[in-house]
Amino acid sequence: MWKGMRVIGYVILILLLIYGGLIALVYLNQHRFIYAPPVASNDVPSGFRNVSYETRDRLELTAGYLPAQDGLPTILFFHGNGANWQSSALVTARLARAGYGIMAAEYRGYSGNAGTPSEAGLYEDARAAWRFLREKQRLAESEIVLVGNSIGSGVATQLATEVRARALVLISPFDSMEETAARKLRWLPVRLLLRDRYRNDQKLPEIGEPILIVHGEADSLIALEQAQALAKVRDDTVIETYPEWGHDLVVHEPVQDRIMLFLQQQH
């Protein structure tokens, strides 16, 4: 009997060690899971030019900029975790052809930029991109639209709590990073482990700009329910969903057409 109990005890101990090891693995490697910069590229998409600006913590960031045609606003675009500013230029091509300006912002640790990405760091990078448009390009707040895709929704949302832009557009957003992680890793206490939380749900009530959320109903990375929960935080939030598309929603031109319609309605 005692021998059997010892065996059970050993099995439980081994399982606890394995579980503890998995917790440690997730905690120590969460940065890799959240931020996945692609290989840096020197390509400059047609019409864009490289621009540089400095953050408050003295990092020089390189990004891409396409000026707007007269009378149209500029899209300050924050990309997802596995993208870069060049891909931002590609997925906003429909907007660019229509004459909208595109500020394809970039993050630390991406596109050859120095630094290590983090929630606080990306917020600093967003502020620097905003200052570039306001101070270097002399754009009024009302001439700038904040657009964030995926993790970029967290960056755009934070910036919207600090400035007053023309509008805020969130593409494939989450209500919070911890909710996204908890849905993926239900068997781990990820809410206790995460350092970067991106609590969009807590910030939306602080925002005065008109808000549009677009989300794919087939999104397997960030559940539609998260976007719907986020939209309910502020009653006047406009939400548009697309049954046939997933997390790559941003690449589809009808989505950009919907964004343009929303912006035209904000006059």
Distance CA 70, CA 189 (A): 51
Fold adopted by 35-264: Rossmann fold (3.40.50)
Assigned token pair, 73 = 């606003």
pLDDT (0 to 100) of residue 196: 86
pLDDT above 90 covers a percentage of the chain that reads 75
Q: What is the mean pLDDT of the chain?
A: 90
pLDDT digits (tens, 9 = 90+) for 134-182: 999 999 999 999 999 999 999 999 999 999 999 999 999 999 988 887 7
- DSSP letter at 239? E
Q: Domain boundaries in the chain?
A: 35-264
Which segments within the chain are labelled E, that is strand?
A: 49-54, 60-66, 74-78, 101-104, 144-149, 167-171, 211-216, 238-242
pLDDT (0 to 100) of residue 44: 85
Assigned token pair, 216 = 């794919």
Q: Measure Cα distances from 187 to 20, 132, 191, 195, 225 in Å.
A: 12, 43, 11, 18, 20
pTM: 0.92
**Amino acid symbol at 262:** F
Phi, psi of 217 (to 5 degrees): -70, -20
Quick one: average pLDDT of 75-103? Answer: 96
